[in-house]
Amino acid sequence: MADHPPPAKRSPASDLPTLAIPDHIRATLKEGFLTSFEDAKAYEQLLLQIAQDVGPRGHIEWLWVKDVCDCTWDIHRARRAKAVSLAMGRKDAIRAIQMASRPEFELATEELRTKAEDEVEDIFDRLGAGAGAGAVPTEDGSDDFGPFPMMLHRLGLTEASLQDVAYSNLLPQMEAFDRLIDNAMARRDSVLREIDRRRDFGRRMRQAVQAGDQVIDAEFE
Amino acid sequence: MTTSDRKRAANRANAARSTGPRTPAGKQRASRNALRHGLSLPLPLDEYGPELSAMAGELEGEFPGRDAAARVAAIAQLHLQRVRRMRALVLQEAAQARREDGASWPHDDDHDLSLALADQLARLLILDGYERKAMSRRKRAFRALTT
């Protein structure tokens, strides 16, 4: 299972009180908020950690805790999907540059297509790993990174600007991701405003959310 | 003619033009709009009997003597859960389809789900609208119950 929203690291596991999810909340977990492609244990841990910070009392407060957890999960899910889409966009940009710069690939035999795709994957992986950063492009690719930096150089691009090209190509999709994320944040704010109406439950919930957001934001910096 | 008059006249003209689908095929398609997911319809209480009883029971326990308000709040909560379940279903089906097609690489759960979400952005944004309405309805129901 790949990455999932990291539970906020606020206290060691040994310090956690034995807080249990009430049966009626557990019943709603079975409702199918998660897909089978997600880590149910990570979700439950996030729920428990928010609950631990907030100490919900009563049915409605538990439902609010679950709302906040669901919205947080939605935000992270959309951010991750946006990052994956952008990575795919970078790969598309590399592919387009490769195809434009290597006329032999236009022969489009199966063998050449495979070779071209392997090169795209290789460049993508190496750029992602930071290889070639700051390397001076050479015509013969003697910088041990192949001729790709030179291709970029001829086009007036840098490795960093690949991201901009990808973003520009995917602009409508990126905006849709942003709307999805904004909507989830607005839903969460709406729940928090409701909670504010009740005692200091709202204050503690806001602190729990901010702590969780700091962990998630750090992952995307 | 004042601005309001002009607006009113334009609205009437637009309304006269926008009378929905005209062809039999269009009418047939539109007649099933609400059945695609049913989220704009009231909660089908016959399907949710046991869940509704359990949820309303919990709320009644917390707010004794507020049985009717507790039932309304329970219905609103179940409606919200229904929207969220629909979102998961949309993602599940899209990710499953990607997995079966072998359409994405690498083949891992997170990657498949992320690309499925990208595929379904338009539908998910529509579901956001339903979720916002469901939350709004539940907010009113909870306020009525707790105040």
CB B120 within 8 A of CB B91: yes
Q: What is the pLDDT of residues B89-135, one digit of tens each?
A: 999 999 998 888 776 566 688 899 999 999 999 999 999 999 999 99
Q: What is the ipTM of this complex?
A: 0.74
3-state secondary structure (DSSP) of residue B104? coil
Residue A7 and residue B69: Cα distance in Å, rounded? 35
What one-letter code names the amino acid at B113?
Answer: L
Q: What is the DSSP letter of B35?
A: G
Whether the CB of A28 is below 8 Å from some CB of chain B: the reply is: yes
Whether the CB of A92 is below 8 Å from some CB of chain B: the reply is: no
Q: What is the pLDDT of residue A8?
A: 44
Nearest-CA distance B67 → chain A (Å): 15
Which of the residue ranges A87-91, B37-41, B81-85 would you say has the lowest mean pLDDT? B37-41
Nearest-CA distance B31 → chain A (Å): 28
Whether the CB of A187 is below 8 Å from some CB of chain B: the reply is: yes
Q: What is the pLDDT of residues A22-54, one digit of tens each?
A: 877 777 666 678 999 999 989 989 999 999 888
Neighbours of A60 (CB within 10 A): 22
What one-letter code names the amino acid at B118?
Answer: A
Nearest by CB to residue B88, choosing from A28, A32, A179, is: A32
Mutate to test the interface with B, among A63, A173, A189 (most CBs of B within 10 A): A63
pTM of the model: 0.73
Residue B75 and residue B140: Cα distance in Å, rounded? 12
What one-letter code names the amino acid at A194?
Answer: E
CB A153 within 8 A of CB A137: yes
Whether the CB of B142 is below 8 Å from some CB of chain A: the reply is: yes
Residue A63: its chain B contacts at CB < 8 A?
A: 77
Inter-chain CB pairs, A–B, below 8 Å: 102
Q: What is the pLDDT of residues A117-148, one digit of tens each?
A: 777 777 777 666 555 444 544 555 444 556 66
Q: What is the pLDDT of residue A107?
A: 60
Nearest by CB to residue A24, choosing from B58, B111, B121, is: B58
Mutate to test the interface with B, among A84, A182, A191 (most CBs of B within 10 A): A84
Which of the residue ranges A52-61, B70-79, B118-127 would you say has the lowest mean pLDDT? A52-61
Which candidate, A181, A217, A22, places its Cα nearest to that of B55? A22
Residues 134-153 of chain A whose Cβ lies under 8 A from any Cβ of chain B:
none
